[in-house]
Structure 1
């Protein structure tokens, strides 16, 4: 979820503080026994010592490295306030990736205890030696994995183990500006539309009037649209570019068709492919009629105060995959393999994923829970007056596409594809040439990255 100009999920409002259960105090001997058992179960790939697994009431300061943006207000609501009540001997400091590079922290010997990031970024942590199977710590804290949506959890797993637990998961919806449709006398979008339906509707509201160019549809990003097909830029097994497939070709052609509706192409196409820029065009500039994207409800509640008359319908689907929207797009937390306080760090994660805190998060902050609990799901933005009359049922009408297997080079490969798409849409290169040149660039990028890792 985006809040104001933050990139994803940052919308927390103050609420009554959660009533936490009293902390159980166990004999130190039991903790020592648990630590020894854990040591015996861990492999050499996940080194653990007693100092990391033994839990006591001694003060412990933990660091939380946010590669996924989270506001100070949100952090306080979900993490520090519940932690202060349940485990007063634990303190948690947030370090924003935008302000502190992880490489600098490593060089200074200040590696974080917890990392907060998005699913596609998990594998990029592997070269930093932060990833490890979290199962021993999950078991130690008696976290029931069955409480989570299994599809969401599967996005953080492979044959080596489970690397993280989810804090929140995105949904997709098609947001639309009712005033633009009213201006041109065109019926509003409806649930169940395919992408072809959506593009045809966009043509009817892409018009110039009173010196303003209204754009019928901003697709938000190539990444978002490809998620419904569970596509990746790299083959996870071969680590070779995968954008030459028939599905990717259809994706590029659809993006071309959308942007080349006469009058629908933004002036700065490269800039507009960022989520924040395309959101601004919809919610601030008020020139986009339809915007398919992630959970931005808190942004739109604020935008309505500035005159944006919006509503939402089901996210468009591909005709061969009806009622399917994006793949698992979740925000995950993990205990680093280098943390000296792994057990304490997992206590933080356990608390943040408890029913109690997840209910607060869903109701007050607009984060969609990764828990399977219908009771918690029903609390999503419950009672928020800014959503009165909105078609909230649209959120629940689609199912998630299967999660992808990402490589640690996925982010870099995506950047090459984004830049190539701009050239293709603007007619600077044909599709075949664009795909060939981009695959060559991606493959060379991977070779260069691997060579650097060997040094």
Structure 2
């Protein structure tokens, strides 16, 4: 399930407020009767001050006659203290609120929650309002609209002013030195791994690729990342049986183990002290394999792109840092051509029973309009859905289309969503595989035998979790995993 990190989404806009307070974005004066717009959200880590700054301040400045009330329906993890009693499913609370006596006008929710809301006819279709108000959807990144229509039965039931995505960044100098052509958009994973082999060095001083730029990871995390992008399931959609004893999993493990042994993908081997020595140097970015010049390619987020740009700009003031000549291309996709590196922070929709649908549309229109996009593009840590402002004002020229020239992956099924809620420790069966992976990596057992053992022990743990949903395990890799009741 995709987890939203609302706390780390953006920089404060508070310094903009004095400059904006003197005028309207559109030049029109709102003289209408005062109205109240109720906005409900299911997000955790809720902080009203942050939410208003990010989602309502500019709107309220533009529409002074509209008073915004915020209704927080999800679990607020910020103030949690230790174990909590099981709370009601936030989707249940949202649907109850949407159909209750004082329903919200606008609802914000995650991508994986949208299909249920659409299929139960709880959202108003936006296309009639888009046409009536001549809202220009041509300005929206096509992948954003495609992703929304994908879960809206071909229709637009929501909009999102921002999205997140990742790209494959590469060090041009490393490819030039090896006499190898640069990566390109639309590569397969096999193409990428082939390039990675050709730019790696046998002595381990230069690696070809990793799924993340920060060093210190183990190879099991790498193979899990690879399995995810290949859309390989660890357990079935009922959460009752493991699915790892398969040819696809065997090929994934075989690929990653060989890349690790050939020093194409970096990882931390606890049995090899030399692996830790690469962090004990004078490089100011020793924690980052790409910025420290040890890694030719990696998957990078917008935040990390900004970090790279800033490091290059400040290179003269950073002792031990050599500027990197770089560019980005699209990340290889899953077998169906979709990308899990593309998604939405929050989708905005109008409740089908909204008491104030016109004000609700004004809110969605404004939040997805050009004025909001222009201002937020200067500070947001998310990508802006309006394609005029997707390219950041950072002065750099790079293949920014690589961040959105993709097909969004469909969200997790509702079956998966319910499994995670009913069996909160189900990821223990994932980490159960680490000890078997290590045995295969070390040659103590064959890859397929290791997967069979993972499947058998995982099945036993899933059965225990079915009988006791809070069942857990002590150890996540290395030694024997024993299922015991949580707490």
Could you tell me how far 1:280 is from its partner in structure 2? 5.7
Q: 1:355 to 1:175 in 2, by over 3 A?
A: same
Q: Separation in 1 of the partners of 2:7 and 2:168?
A: 18
Residue matched to 2:163: 169
Quick check: 1:178–1:311 contact (8 Å CA) kept in 2?
Answer: yes
Kept in 2: contact 1:62–1:93 (CA 8 A): yes
Q: Mark the runs of 5 or more structure 2 residues left unpaired by the alignment.
A: 98-103, 213-221, 271-284, 316-320, 472-487
CA RMSD of superposed structures (Å): 5.5
1:263/1:178 CA distance change after superposition, 3 Å: same
The residue correspondences of 1:34-433 to structure 2 (distance < 5 A) are: 57=35, 66-67=43-44, 76=53, 78-87=55-64, 89-91=66-68, 99-101=78-80, 118-120=110-112, 122=113, 134-136=122-124, 142=129, 147=137, 149-154=144-149, 165-181=159-175, 187-207=181-201, 213-220=205-212, 225-226=226-227, 228-230=229-231, 233=234, 235-236=236-237, 238-241=238-241, 243-244=243-244, 247-262=248-263, 264-267=265-268, 281-282=288-289, 285-296=292-303, 297-305=305-313, 307=321, 309=324, 310-317=326-333, 324-326=338-340, 329-333=343-347, 348-349=363-364, 351-362=366-377, 365=380, 367-370=382-385, 376-385=386-395, 387-388=396-397, 390-395=398-403, 397-406=405-414, 407-408=416-417, 409-410=419-420, 415-416=427-428, 418-427=430-439, 430-433=450-453
Gaps of 5+ in 1: 28-55, 270-277, 371-375
Bigger Cα displacement from structure 2, 408-417 vs 419-428: 408-417
2:179 and 2:48 mapped to 1: Cα distance? 40
TM-score normalised per structure 1:
0.61
Q: Secondary structure at the match of 2:288?
A: helix
Q: 1:12 to 1:88 in 2, by over 3 A?
A: same
SS at match of 1:199: helix
Alpha carbons of 1:441 and 1:115: their partners in 2 closer, same or farther (altered >3 Å)?
farther
1:392 and 1:162 map into 2 onto residues whose CA distance is: 25
Please identify, of 83-92 and 190-199, the stretch whose mean Cα deviation from structure 2 is larger.
83-92
CA distance in 2, matches of 1:167, 1:391: 21
Is the CA contact 1:155–1:328 (under 8 Å) kept in the aligned structure 2?
Answer: no
Q: CA deviation at 1:188?
A: 3.6
The answer to whether the Cα contact below 8 Å between 2:167 and 2:403 also exists between their aligned partners in 1 is yes
Contact 1:363-1:380 within 8 A present in 2 as well: no
* Structure 2 Cα separation of the partners of residues 222 and 404 of structure 1: 20
Between the two proteins, the alignment pairs up a number of residues equal to 388
- Given that 1:190 and 1:314 are in contact with CA atoms closer than 8 Å, whether structure 2 keeps it comes out as yes
Alignment match, 1:441: 461
What is the Cα deviation at residue 267 of structure 1? Answer: 1.7
Q: Which residue of 1 aligns with 2:25?
A: 19
Deviation at 1:174, TM superposition (A): 0.8
2-side partners of 1:447 and 1:262: how far apart?
A: 44
Deviation at 1:169, TM superposition (A): 2.8
Distance 1:71 1:268 in 2: 44
Would you say the 8 A contact 1:173–1:294 is kept in 2?
Answer: yes
* Deviation of the 1:99 alpha carbon: 2.0
